[in-house]
Structure 1
Amino acid sequence: MAVSEQAPIAAQKVDSDTRKPPMTPLAILLMNFGFFGIQFSFGLQQSAVNPIFTFIGAKPEELPLLNLAGPVTGLVIQPLIGAASDRTWGRFGRRKPYFIIGALGCMVMLFLFPFVGAIWTAFLFMWLLDASNNTAMEPYRAFISDRLPKNQLARGFLVQSMFVGLGAVSANLSLLIFQKLITGITDHGIPFWVYVCFWIGAVCSIGSVLVSVLTTKEIPPTEEELAEMRAKKGGPAGFFAEISSAVREMPVGMHKIGLVFLFQWFAMAVYWQFVAVSMTEKIPAFASTDPAKPVSEAASGWVGAVNGMYNLITIFAALALIPIAQKFGAKRVGAVALVFGGVGLLVFANLNNQYALLVPEIGVGIAWASMLGIPYIMVASMVPKERSGVYMGIVNMMIVVPMLIQNVTFGWIFEHLLGGSGANAIMLSGALLLCAAIAMLWINPPPDDEESALMPLGAARAITIYDKVVVGSDGTPSSLYAVDRAHAVAAEADAQVVVVSAYSPADATDEGARKELHGREAAFQALEVTVRHLTSDRVRRIEQRVVAGDPAQALLSAAEGNPHNLIVVGNRGLGAEEGQMLGTVPAAVVKDAVCDVLIVQGTRDRVPRNRR
């Protein structure tokens, strides 16, 4: 337990959360509405593009390589765009220019995609569509983190998950409905209903993003933040340097989910590519009448039903998973959710009734809700606000690397190890999700001071509000009672205790002046008494500070202007005059503090409660 001696008090640095006024529920909905259109586009990409590849002549074993666009563009574009948006500010804002450009790109590519007539054209359009989606998505996620104070981040990302699910459900339902209503195909083999679905997606993509842009303002950076942006090296070299620096400085919690991501995103890539192939093989009503086409039109339409089902479940599962994860810990809840998904896919691959396929998709939806929500909340709460863009991009690098590995390797695996069977591919996907669940349980939570207070990886703390509990002590029974109360709060919150003893450099005091500690030796003696009092082992992190100067300013300085800390002080404070009910110290602390202040009733010479 180190004791630090500090110079006279300097000005406090105000926490950035004080510049983020809380948003109303309607404002949070409007801010996230753009995710509906972006995810509508992603939903079409996940559910319709692979059947389109087969319509124009692609073989099942070629699908992984044809899907290289997703992971490659994600690996390159997401962190670069994230880093660029971190250092952008202009008349159109910080993040907004990027997701407007991305939404415009999605609109154009969705409009043009149904006109593809050759595999190379579809492959090119897939790259451009995915690049546009990624350009919009990552700055948008950082925008949510920029705009909301920490106590609203969980709600903000929860609403985001709901719109993600709603957009995907709408995309998949459009495939199912219009496949029933519109018949006929083009000379290139593309059904006419594909045109309608993709054109609706084009309108939704740009329309929903414009609603969010026009209704939600960005918070301007401070002069200090602007200076930091200008000081950073620009251009591709600067962006790559920023990404490299962020990777080296990543919080421990971000490293720990890498193995989980390897299994779960490899599994999901397999599922998206081969779900239609599996249904064509297993469901008699979906059997292909053309040997050259491994996916029937009926199966491609029913992909909308099964994928719509799991995305519908995601909307409701997201409502439940976040508070449960906050209570029991993200790793346990995430592991259970992945088990639901793995078992669901194992069952899915062995069913031969199209309507029965909807039941195991419930488990997939629970797993998908966990994948979409929990990691982003954890990252947003543990990384610096000014670097949220690059870190959101790095999280998605961790997603796309397993998908890139799948794209490069799975064609051979499918043909030589799985017997060219789509059902076997889906079973392997389910087994990989179970491996991800095991890997999640293998993760050890980070140290207490690196754990996310908003979304803990391990079991949640009983109190998750405070990072530090600051308390002053002059060694008297009254002040030790305040220390006792601070200790109790810190033990429940697993927070750090900072004990402050402030002293006057003078050796004596004029008659009538406040009773306070005089000289360094008296301050160190007061700390010694205080530390002997802190006998419980429930608070493992205790910092002691001896400060020359005003007691109130010493407490405020120790709290560091952080709204997530707590100051505990007796109602007479350090050295109140006899008879005062509220001393000058607590009065000054209450007046100037930006964090919570707990006033302990200690006017009588109370003896601190003994701890067993």
Structure 2
Amino acid sequence: MKKRHLSFWEIWNMSFGFLGIQFGFALQNANVSRIFETLGARVEDIPILWIAAPLTGLIVQPIIGHLSDKTWNRFGRRRPYFTIGAIFTTLALFVMPNSPALWIAAGMLWIMDASINISMEPFRAFVGDNLPSEQRTMGFAMQSFFIGLGAVIASALPYILTNWFGVPNTAGEGIIPQSVKLSFYIGGVVLLASVLYTVFTSKEYSPEELAAFEQEKEKISGIKAGLKSPVTPDQFLKNGSVWTVAGIAATAIIVLLRLEAQLYIVSGLLLTFGIILLVSGALTKKGSTQNGMVGIMNDLLHMPKTMGQLAVVQFFSWLSFYAMWIYTTPAVTQHVFGTNETASELYNQGADWVGVLFAVYNAVSALSAFLLPVLARQIGRKATHSIALAVGGVSFISFFFIQDPQILLLPMIGIGFTWGSILSMPYAILTGALPADKMGTYMGIFNFFIVIPQILAASILGFVTKDIFGGQVIFTMVLAGCSLILGALSVFFVQDRDDAYKFKKNAQEQK
């Protein structure tokens, strides 16, 4: 028994909701720094204000993944979460640009990002659930296409509204421009409509069917997806003690050396993780193994080998793109347009141009969805992803040498190719190594390796930019490029489980 090959349009329908999700996500990425600066935030404070995004993902995604793995009713397994997340994200998009104060805008970012994560995590597992291994690269590439398409329109929307329809892009001190407000309203409508389209046009396999598919794949490949044995109480307690001591030591160093307050986020996360493991050990010792927290921690400590290897790649990749999202606007307005005055026309021209640059990289990302599966078939998914990350690294570094706003379009093409690969190749490799009954949980845990580098970036990039780079944001972009190149090198240490499956399957078919 194996999964049915879906038609192009069936894959299209099940991926269409990502158009709206990314519409909202791109509006957030391209405009939130602008909103924060308009409401009075200093450049060095922007990373810590952005901490909402990775922290909510760290908490929400594994919980939603675990819950969706356990869900099955007449509305499906993943689709109820698509719908709930879309409704709350739409509401947040309507409220965010009307924030009267900086702290309210920061709070709305927490709500918006949590809601986006409720929808986004099950969409990743949706592809793993519904598609056979040979179609997963296409499935994630299709998601990448819609991510790029939605982000193109959303990123350029303030620019389009101003230059095509005459909507004002400037306002008084501390007031969000009308072009930004209207963009968020449009984004809310697009997001809800596109997610509902996927909900009503797609079907899901039952848990029993998914279990049968997994058994057949394991029979052919001879490789089991994931480890099944539970973590013992002693293992939990041992690991928990190590992480707790690390958190206490890191906190002590920050206090003694009087380091930046943002670093307490890192030490706090180490300490929190250690305490969660200790609590999980205590619960396991009492026999409470069905507890959701214990289950997630058990799966984390028993993650498949491929997942751990991909974690390194994800760290370098997402550190770079997080830096880009929060620093492109100040880097371009400062390094290319020569201004830090947020109320000036020149600054707002630069900020609008960043929206265009983001639209370009997302457009290239959408188009790369058609190129990446072809390239992966020729040279493999690992080589494809490594090349893409290297191209992105060079593109980031080239920002330092460019003074003409128009020429900035060239590196954005390379960054778009990189982004398309980041959104598809790691997931296509990962899903082949995951057990079907824990697809959502492991997709949520995999998000740890996306948000942890973002949290680290939010904690240290403000300090690095201000005290090491002297406030010259352009050097932070160069640092991001170096991180991508390290990611490109780390790809070669990843094992792709689907390679073994394809080899043995082809061998059996040739007999």
TM-score by structure 1 length?
Answer: 0.67
Q: Which 5+ residue runs of structure 1 have no aligned equivalent? A: 1-14, 227-231, 469-488, 491-565, 567-595, 599-612
User: How far apart in 2 are the matches of 1:467 and 1:239?
Assistant: 36
1:287 has 2:272 as partner? no
Of the three residues 157, 160, 167, the one matched with 1:182 is 167
* Contact in 1 for aligned 2:82/2:119 (Cα 8 Å): yes
**Partner deviation per Cα, 1:454-499 (whole Å, 9 max, x = no partner):** xx5xxxx8xx64536xxxxxxxxxxxxxxxxxxxx74xxxxxxxxx
Shift of 1:23: 1.9
Shift of 1:390: 0.8
Shift of 1:204: 0.8
1:151 has 2:134 as partner? yes
Instruction: State the partner residue of 1:203.
Output: 189
* Contact in 1 for aligned 2:140/2:423 (Cα 8 Å): no
- 429-438 or 210-219: bigger deviation: 429-438
Q: Which 5+ residue runs of structure 2 have no aligned equivalent? A: 213-229, 231-283
Distance 1:465 1:225, change over 3 A: closer
Instruction: State the partner residue of 1:216.
Output: 202
Instruction: State the partner residue of 1:251.
Output: 304
Instruction: Report SS of the residue matched to 1:355.
Output: helix
Instruction: State the partner residue of 1:336.
Output: 387
Instruction: State the partner residue of 1:588.
Output: none
Instruction: State the partner residue of 1:452.
Output: 497
* Contact in 2 for aligned 1:68/1:407 (Cα 8 Å): yes
**Partner deviation per Cα, 1:509-536 (whole Å, 9 max, x = no partner):** xxxxxxxxxxxxxxxxxxxxxxxxxxxx
* Contact in 1 for aligned 2:129/2:210 (Cα 8 Å): no
User: How far apart in 2 are the matches of 1:435 and 1:22?
Assistant: 36
* Contact in 2 for aligned 1:60/1:294 (Cα 8 Å): no
User: How far apart in 1 are the matches of 2:403 and 2:210?
Assistant: 63
Shift of 1:289: 4.7
Instruction: State the partner residue of 1:383.
Output: 434
Distance 1:303 1:113, change over 3 A: same
Distance 1:295 1:40, change over 3 A: farther
User: How far apart in 1 are the matches of 2:144 and 2:431?
Assistant: 14
* Contact in 2 for aligned 1:145/1:388 (Cα 8 Å): yes
Shift of 1:322: 2.6
Q: How many residues align?
A: 435
- 1:9-28 pair list within 5 angstroms: 15=1, 17=2, 20-28=3-11
- 1:122-137 pair list within 5 angstroms: 122-137=105-120
Shift of 1:452: 2.2
Shift of 1:438: 2.6
**Partner deviation per Cα, 1:434-467 (whole Å, 9 max, x = no partner):** 22223334x2x54xxxx422xx5xxxx8xx6453
Shift of 1:93: 1.4
Instruction: Report SS of the residue matched to 1:383.
Output: coil
1:365 has 2:416 as partner? yes
Instruction: State the partner residue of 1:610.
Output: none
Distance 1:295 1:107, change over 3 A: farther
1:321 has 2:394 as partner? no
- 1:544-563 pair list within 5 angstroms: none
Shift of 1:191: 0.3
User: How far apart in 2 are the matches of 1:295 and 1:258?
Assistant: 41
Instruction: State the partner residue of 2:400.
Output: 349
Shift of 1:223: 8.9
Root-mean-square deviation over aligned CA pairs: 2.5
* Contact in 1 for aligned 2:40/2:174 (Cα 8 Å): no
Instruction: State the partner residue of 1:271.
Output: 324
* Contact in 2 for aligned 1:346/1:430 (Cα 8 Å): yes
1:70 has 2:53 as partner? yes
Q: Which structure has more RCO (C-alpha within 8 Å, separation ≥ 6)?
A: 2
User: How far apart in 2 are the matches of 1:238 and 1:175?
Assistant: 46
User: How far apart in 2 are the matches of 1:205 and 1:236?
Assistant: 38
Distance 1:388 1:293, change over 3 A: farther
Give the number of the structure whose alpha-carbon radius of gyration is greater.
1
- 1:491-502 pair list within 5 angstroms: none
- 1:427-466 pair list within 5 angstroms: 427-441=478-492, 443=493, 445-446=494-495, 451-453=496-498, 456=499, 465-466=502-503
Larger fraction in helix: 2
- 1:89-100 pair list within 5 angstroms: 89-100=72-83
Instruction: State the partner residue of 1:497.
Output: none
* Contact in 1 for aligned 2:161/2:179 (Cα 8 Å): yes
Shift of 1:389: 0.4
TM-score by structure 2 length?
Answer: 0.80
User: How far apart in 2 are the matches of 1:421 and 1:79?
Assistant: 37
Shift of 1:174: 0.9
User: How far apart in 2 are the matches of 1:104 and 1:237?
Assistant: 31
Shift of 1:119: 0.8
* Contact in 1 for aligned 2:145/2:368 (Cα 8 Å): no
- 265-274 or 327-336: bigger deviation: 327-336
* Contact in 2 for aligned 1:59/1:294 (Cα 8 Å): no
1:192 has 2:197 as partner? no
User: How far apart in 1 are the matches of 2:445 and 2:378?
Assistant: 27
* Contact in 1 for aligned 2:122/2:440 (Cα 8 Å): yes
* Contact in 1 for aligned 2:141/2:420 (Cα 8 Å): no
* Contact in 2 for aligned 1:57/1:293 (Cα 8 Å): no
User: How far apart in 2 are the matches of 1:38 and 1:159?
Assistant: 14
Q: Which amino acid aligns with 1:244?
A: M
Larger fraction in strand: 1
Distance 1:30 1:244, change over 3 A: same
User: How far apart in 1 are the matches of 2:133 and 2:68?
Assistant: 21
User: How far apart in 2 are the matches of 1:243 and 1:306?
Assistant: 39
Shift of 1:149: 2.5
Q: Which amino acid aligns with 1:266?
A: L
User: How far apart in 2 are the matches of 1:236 and 1:174?
Assistant: 49
User: How far apart in 1 are the matches of 2:67 and 2:77?
Assistant: 9
**Partner deviation per Cα, 1:240-288 (whole Å, 9 max, x = no partner):** 222222223322111112222222211111111111111111224x635
User: How far apart in 1 are the matches of 2:336 and 2:510?
Assistant: 65
* Contact in 2 for aligned 1:179/1:301 (Cα 8 Å): no
User: How far apart in 2 are the matches of 1:466 and 1:321?
Assistant: 21
Of the three residues 1, 14, 21, the one matched with 1:38 is 21
* Contact in 2 for aligned 1:288/1:295 (Cα 8 Å): no
How many percent of aligned residue pairs carry the same amino acid? Answer: 34
Distance 1:259 1:294, change over 3 A: farther
User: How far apart in 2 are the matches of 1:189 and 1:356?
Assistant: 31
User: How far apart in 2 are the matches of 1:395 and 1:377?
Assistant: 13
User: How far apart in 1 are the matches of 2:466 and 2:63?
Assistant: 36
